[in-house]
């Protein structure tokens, strides 16, 4: 069994050394290949990477882009270059727990149909201090304990937003056959998560297997994490855990249900799905239609006004 890591860097000299040491210092399982794609860094990142390569020449493979391509395309390149049976995605500024690989592979072993496994994560600040009382799942409203099992990840991701943080994700090599190309309109981790959800092959570990860093320079991260509680009620409605009562809740749920229907249509002709996509499209449309009927009956005046505004703005035709 060969284990690869796909890691992307860009001006990451402040934290990359800690991350690489945490990847190299894993319990029981050793990483065979670390593929690093650098997006034309201008700081000391490449010097640090070359020092690691000098110490571990058979492990490190460093590729430098001629120009900046952005994180999504950079991850496409890094993943495509990995040759391992299992490919762990990694950001440049996090820290892996020493048993991350061991516990991730245990989920694969327990679930033979799994093609991807993600996990929860601690949040740390710029000085490696733990941010208390909140995890990465809290920050993306992945209410795992309350959601019906098995979790309908397509429903969760399309209505709630992506809950699969790429820095916690591991995929089997076979996944490379159907996730490319990545496009700039969808982040790489969401694209992978949606495809795996539609194949019923996305699984997870409840444990916090990395420390995810929150700092000013990160490209993608959780903002205003302590303001999350105020949004919780609306998120619960969106996730079908609570029933809508106010017009705002009905309206927001309708918007999210429309997005789910639209996402279904996007994958209508995909050849790699393991679900009946036409059935999913029909059900999504029916759910949207019935929800809008209920909303119109309960709030007729406000619905007419909202419909008028939508027409004027050319929304949701």
pLDDT at residue 218 greater than cutoff 80: no
Q: What integer is the mean pLDDT of 21-50?
A: 97
Model's pTM, two decimal places?
0.93
pLDDT, position 233? 84
pLDDT at residue 92 greater than cutoff 60: yes
Nearest to 161 by CA among 207, 228, 206: 228
Q: Please give the Cα distance from 235 to 28 (Å, whole number).
A: 39
**CA 259 to each of CA 238, 249, 254: distance values in angstroms, whole numbers, following the listed order:** 12, 15, 9
DSSP H or E stretch at residue 172: strand 170-172
DSSP H or E stretch at residue 108: helix 100-110
Q: What is the pLDDT of residues 97-107, one digit of tens each?
A: 999 999 999 99
Q: Please give the Cα distance from 178 to 181 (Å, whole number).
A: 8
Determine how β-strand 33-38 pairs with β-strand 60-64: parallel
Q: What integer is the mean pLDDT of 164-179?
A: 98
For the four alpha carbons of 246, 248, 250 and 253, in that order, the dihedral sign comes to negative
Q: Please give the Cα distance from 265 to 192 (Å, whole number).
A: 17
Percent of the chain whose predicted confidence (pLDDT) is above 70:
94
Find where tokens 């700081």 sit: 43
3-state SS, residue 274: coil
Q: When comparing pLDDT for 191 and 310, which is higher?
A: 191
CB atoms within 10 A of CB 70: 14
pLDDT class of 309 with cuts at 50, 70, 90: confident
Q: Which residues are CB-contacts of 73 (< 8 A; sequence separation ≥ 6)?
A: 182, 184
């Amino acid at each position: 069994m060969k284990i690869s890591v796909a890691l992307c860097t860009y001006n990451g000299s402040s934290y990359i050394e800690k991350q690489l040491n945490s990847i190299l210092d894993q319990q029981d399982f050793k990483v065979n290949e670390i593929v690093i794609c650098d997006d034309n860094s201008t700081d000391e990142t490449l010097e640090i990477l070359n020092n690691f390569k000098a110490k571990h020449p058979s492990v490190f493979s460093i590729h430098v882009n001629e120009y900046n391509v952005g994180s999504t395309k950079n991850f496409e390149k890094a993943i495509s270059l990995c040759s391992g049976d299992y490919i762990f995605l990694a950001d440049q500024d996090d820290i892996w727990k020493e048993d991350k690989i061991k516990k991730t592979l245990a989920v694969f072993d327990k679930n033979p149909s799994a093609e991807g496994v993600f996990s929860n994560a601690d949040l740390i600040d710029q000085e490696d201090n733990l941010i208390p009382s909140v995890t990465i799942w809290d920050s993306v409203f992945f209410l795992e304990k309350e959601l019906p099992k098995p979790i309908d990840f397509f429903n969760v991701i399309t209505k709630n937003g992506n809950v699969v943080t790429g820095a916690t994700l591991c995929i089997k090599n076979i996944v490379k056959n159907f996730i490319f190309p990545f496009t700039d309109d969808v982040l790489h981790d969401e694209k992978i998560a949606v495809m795996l959800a539609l194949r019923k092959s996305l699984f997870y570990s409840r444990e916090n297997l990395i420390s995810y860093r929150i700092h000013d320079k990160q490209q993608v991260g959780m903002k205003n994490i302590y303001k999350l509680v105020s949004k919780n009620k609306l998120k619960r409605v969106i996730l079908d855990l609570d029933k809508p009562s106010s017009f705002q809740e009905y309206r927001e749920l309708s918007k999210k249900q429309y997005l789910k229907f639209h996402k279904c249509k996007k994958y209508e002709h995909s050849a790699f799905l393991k679900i009946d996509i036409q059935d999913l499209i029909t059900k999504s449309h029916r759910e949207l239609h019935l929800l809008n009927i209920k909303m119109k009956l309960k709030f007729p005046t406000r619905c007419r006004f909202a419909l008028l505004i939508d027409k004027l703005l050319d929304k949701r035709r």
